[in-house]
Amino acid sequence: MRGNHFGKMFSMTTFGESHGMAIGVVVDGVPAGLDFSMEDLQKELDRRAPGKIPGTTSRRESDNPEILSGIFEGKTLGTPIAAIVKNQNQRSQDYDKLKESYRPGHADKTTNMKYGFRDHRGGGRSSGRETLSRVIAGYFASLVIPKVEIRAFISKIGPFSLDEAFPEKLPKDLGEYSYPEREKWDEIKQFLLGLKKEGESVGGRVSIIIDGCPEALGEPAFDKLKADFAKALMSIGAVTSFSFGLGEKMADLPGSVVSSSSGHFGGIEGGISNGERITLQVTFKPTSTIGEKAKEGRHDPCILPRAIPVIEAMTKVVLADHFLRQRAYDR
């Protein structure tokens, strides 16, 4: 199987299956001498861990990472950092009915087409559990770009939608559902609990705001910053579309409006960061497991609340990679 590696100067290679012994990642390109905190890493993993947010999966995992290499006396060594998280609460029998059936929109059928064999337990390699490896990589990426602030939040989930996809100011506390409007939190909770009871699912949109990004990140041709953001975020299993700046609105606006401000391009012009606030948005499809299969198993009726730290992590990985590449130019 190819396609388990992402990045150039800062890179990660992930491994493991949802119901295997462990999920893991090898992160390479982290400079030596950066301060490492297991507590901070655990906090990031706790944000996406299953069984913590009402209305999401009931699978419970402690997700305690083990660092196998690349760290000594609380600092990075500049060598590859290997980390694993052991799976503890698989309950593979819950997925027996999926052994002989495929879920439309999931990788069940296409994985079988490609390899002639698949691990049906929890989606195997295609499971959302793979994303905890990305969160680990995102933590180490944040050490490379400590002055960059990245915040992802839900801008639409089911019937709940923000008036502005990119508010000028975000509240410090977005709640467990990462939704800026506090007065809607309980309604969202009840909405998701209702979906779970019915065996239904729903998608939505996530907005990403990046402040403090250095200028000149990205290349003018194939390695545009926007292109790498798109690949990184579209590689998250349930993501179906990506945009930046005005995004799809550009199709309905004249050039005199679109080109009236560099801000309409979301901080990226010609594929290169211009030093302004970067705004990105991704759309998620509803979870593929629905009906009785959803009721019998432990599935998220909506993946968005637990996807937020994954989205932030992939954004950090892209920025750390391009930051190190630009630093090589500057030397």
CA distance 8 to 280: 22
Would you tell me the crossing angle of helices 304-330 and 131-144 to the nearest 10 degrees?
40
Q: 88-117, pLDDT tens digit by residue?
A: 765 555 555 666 676 666 677 777 777 776
260 or 162: whose pLDDT is higher? 162
Per-residue pLDDT band for 63 (boundaries 50, 70, 90) equals: confident
How many Cβ atoms are within 10 Å of 252's Cβ, its own excluded?
Answer: 9
Contact between residue 272 and residue 223 where contact means Cβ atoms under 8 Å apart: no
Q: 109-138, pLDDT tens digit by residue?
A: 777 777 776 665 555 666 778 999 999 999
CA distance 135 to 309: 7
| pLDDT given at position 31 | 98
CA distance 101 to 83: 34
Structure tokens at 260: 């009236």
| pLDDT given at position 127 | 74
Q: 262-294, pLDDT tens digit by residue?
A: 889 999 999 999 999 999 999 999 987 776 665
| pLDDT given at position 237 | 86
| pLDDT given at position 53 | 73
| pLDDT given at position 49 | 75
| pLDDT given at position 221 | 95
- 40 pLDDT exceeds 90? yes
Range of the domain at 34: 5-330
At 81, which amino acid appears? I
pTM flag (> 0.75): yes
- 57 pLDDT exceeds 70? no
How many Cβ atoms are within 10 Å of 104's Cβ, its own excluded?
Answer: 8
Give the CATH number of the domain where residue 230 resides: 3.60.150.10
| pLDDT given at position 229 | 98
| pLDDT given at position 13 | 97
Structure tokens at 152: 């992802």
- Of 14-23, 27-36, 220-229, 274-283, minimum mean pLDDT range: 14-23
**Count of domains forming the chain:** 1
Sign of the torsion angle spanned by Cα atoms 176, 240, 321, 20: positive
- Of 60-74, 82-96, 158-172, minimum mean pLDDT range: 82-96
